[in-house]
Amino acid sequence: MADAAGHWLERRGVRVTSRARRALSVLGVVAAEFPDSDLLYSGPVLRMGPLGYLLHHRGHTHTIVWAVISAVVLWMVARAWVNREENRASGASGDGASSVGVGVKSANVSRALLAVALIGTLSHLLLDYTNSYGVHPFWPFDNRWYYGDAVFIVEPWLWLVSIPALFWNRPSRVGRVLLSLCFALILAATLLLGEVARDVALMLVLFAAAWPLLQWRLSAQRRTASGLGVWALVTAGFFAASGRADAAVRAAVEGTSAKERVLDVSLNPGPGDWGCWSALVMSTDGTTYRVSSGFVAPFADVRSLATCEARYRAGRIGSDVLGGLSERTAATFAATTQVAWRSAWSAPRTTLQTLARTRCEMHAALRFMRAPVWQRVSDRELLLSDARFGVGGGGFSELLVPVRGECGMEGRWIPTWRPPRLDVMSDEMGRSERSE
């Protein structure tokens, strides 16, 4: 991004100083990571334990309002830093004038810095949206979560597409070393961790051999354009596959029972694989709240369900995320050529209503949890989990909720995110949430 901005300026006859070029590069990195500044306070600082992380990571800093404000602040800092060189140059000349294109008194350089800052912060929100964790970018006007359910959170295709263009576009020596290490680590993870299907891993390796050579032969401008174009094509492919997977899952549920209503479907692809997906379905028949896990082959004619299950039997998307629940049962929905069911967990809808109404920890956690499940671990505590991230393994989305006793949340800052499962919570809470 920063290199593209520098080339754009040079094509317009603006001489970009080394200081301005460094500012563009640093600003691009800082702006792209700045929304994750919530990590500085979302955990121990708020003394809320794991709940603080759930409620505040991807929180207010992951909104368009914050992204724009922070981009403007970062732009002003970068512009002031580059201006120091221009002021020194003007002082050295003795006439108080600066040459065209030097520093950020050039309107073009200033605009480029602002564009890099805005693209950096806003693109972070867009990329976070593509996976199943979710964001709520339109706060304070809309406090709902939005989920892309399309791209694996560390998608190898996207890394392998972007790194070669960055490598050949004149980064520093340190930058080239870091990019080379990242490229090697992605390939090593693809081949050694066992999460990527072997046929997909072979495709990734072949691409990793050919794509850098092609990028090396292109001009800087075409490298940037081709990198962005292929990135967009890869992402669009995952979104198209996600749409087909979602439709297949809903059809399988609705084809089994006319009474069962699908509330939500959470989807995750295999790394690098458009053809194999894991699914969680949250549904209700009016009296029972149910979470069911399944495996989906959206393009079953090309990549069959049997092939998917064989490729991922021992991997992340091949395992049953509900496996840690002691009271799970076999899923009762009908299997199809595109969908295979694993297991299900259910509870009376009134149980969730009561817990949300009487336990403030549960009330707060449900502002994040999209697929809440729970089980009693002692006479005094329930283990509450978001099934998207596994159950019973001590993961970041698991909370111990006291069955009775005083509320331990007094004085804590609880954001007003709309609970994803408001559709199965109490009428009383539903009315209060809708009024917010």
Least Cα distance to 103 among 12, 17, 9, 2 occurs for 17
Residue 136 has pLDDT above 80, yes or no: yes
Amino acid type, 186:
I
Residue 240 has pLDDT above 50, yes or no: yes
Which residues are 277's β-sheet partners? 269, 296
Q: What is the DSSP letter of 171?
A: -
* Domain assignment present for 306: no
pLDDT mean across residues, the chain:
86
* Domain assignment present for 382: no
Tell me the C-alpha distance between 170 and 41, whole Å.
36
The tokens describing 103, both together, are 């520093």
Least Cα distance to 368 among 413, 432, 417, 407 occurs for 417
Mean pLDDT for 346-361 is 90
* Domain assignment present for 122: yes
* Domain assignment present for 109: yes
Contact indicator for 152, 234 with CB cutoff of 8 Å: no
Mean pLDDT for 343-364 is 91
Place of tokens 């199943």: 132
* Domain assignment present for 85: yes
Mean pLDDT for 165-185 is 85
* Domain assignment present for 143: no
SS3 content of the chain, % helix, strand, coil (to 5): 55, 15, 35
Residue 271 has pLDDT above 90, yes or no: yes
Tell me the C-alpha distance between 283 and 7, whole Å.
52
pLDDT at 97: 45
- Among the ranges 32-41, 47-56, 262-271, 359-368, which has the highest mean pLDDT value? 262-271
pLDDT at 156: 95
Residue 400 buriedness (CB in 10 A; 0-12 / 13-18 / 19+): middle
pLDDT at 243: 97
Place of tokens 């894991």: 278
Task: Give the pLDDT band of residue 375 (cuts 50, 70, 90).
Answer: very high
Estimate the crossing angle of helix 198-217 against helix 220-256, to 10 degrees.
160
Least Cα distance to 57 among 420, 321, 374, 367 occurs for 367
Question: Over the stretch 76-118, which tens digit does the pLDDT of each residue have?
Answer: 998 888 877 666 655 555 444 444 344 444 667 788 889 999 9
Residue 10 has pLDDT above 80, yes or no: no
Tell me the C-alpha distance between 264 and 92, whole Å.
65
pLDDT at 99: 45
pLDDT at 341: 94
Rounded to the nearest 5°, which phi and psi values hold at 30? -65, -45
**Count of domains observed in the chain:** 1
* Domain assignment present for 96: yes
pTM, whole model, 2 decimals? 0.87
Range of the domain at 106: 1-129
pLDDT at 433: 44
CB atoms within 10 A of CB 191: 14
Q: How far is CA 411 from the centre of its chain?
A: 30
pLDDT at 408: 64
Mean pLDDT for 22-28 is 85
pLDDT at 392: 81
Mean pLDDT for 61-66 is 96
Residue 151 has pLDDT above 60, yes or no: yes
**Widest Cα–Cα separation across the chain:** 84
* Domain assignment present for 45: yes
Pick the residue with more confidence: 190 or 434? 190
Mean pLDDT for 328-347 is 94
pLDDT at 383: 92
Which residues are 382's β-sheet partners? 376, 401
Residue 206 has pLDDT above 50, yes or no: yes
Residue 119 has pLDDT above 70, yes or no: yes
Question: Over the stretch 285-321, which tens digit does the pLDDT of each residue have?
Answer: 989 999 999 999 999 999 999 999 999 887 777 788 8
Mean pLDDT for 368-395 is 91
Beta strand ranges found along 250-409 (DSSP E): 261-270, 273-284, 288-296, 329-330, 339-348, 372-376, 381-386, 399-402
